Amino acid sequence: MDDDDVLRQAEEDGRHVGEALDALEAWLLTEDAYVQGGVPDEVLNYLQDHIDRLLGSHATAVAGDFVRQRAEGAGGLAGVARDRSALLDLLALIEGTPRREFELEWRADIPESPAGAA
């Protein structure tokens, strides 16, 4: 795979992640409004179907326990929807992939010195 292919794949992955996070956020906000009686069944069902088409037929089922646990500490479903870290964790759980963590790279470079310098 050449550099162009790597960059293209990274762009596609980034687009997928962004779209998935936006869809999860919209779904959780709609679930929150539904619980409060502000959203018709059809709207909620449409978003659930969209999540399942986008991330796989198991997505909303897998999300259930995770969302319930996080909602208790985050002030409800809307709190989870607004927590980007929680959405990334949820996406990783749905896709069955470990979430990428921030990585540090340490390098020890020997400084170049003028010839003959101690």
pLDDT of residue 105: 57
* Cβ 46 vs Cβ 34: under 8 Å: no
Give dist(CA 91, CA 78) in Å, integer. 17
Splitting the chain (118 residues) into consecutive groups of 10 residues, what average pLDDT does each group show?
60 74 91 90 92 88 87 86 90 78 56 62
Q: Which amino acid is at 92?
A: A
Tell how far CA 97 is from the center of its chain.
11
Q: b/e string for 13-51 if b means 16 or more Cβ within 10 A? A: eeeeeeebeebbbebbbbbbebeeeebeeeebeebbeeb
pLDDT of residue 25: 92
pLDDT of residue 49: 92
pLDDT of residue 72: 84
Please report, for the chain, the start and end positions of each structural domain, with discontinuous segments joined by +: 3-95
Give dist(CA 88, CA 16) in Å, integer. 12
- How many Å from the N-terminal Cα to the C-terminal Cα in the chain? 45
Q: And the tokens for 55?
A: 């991330």
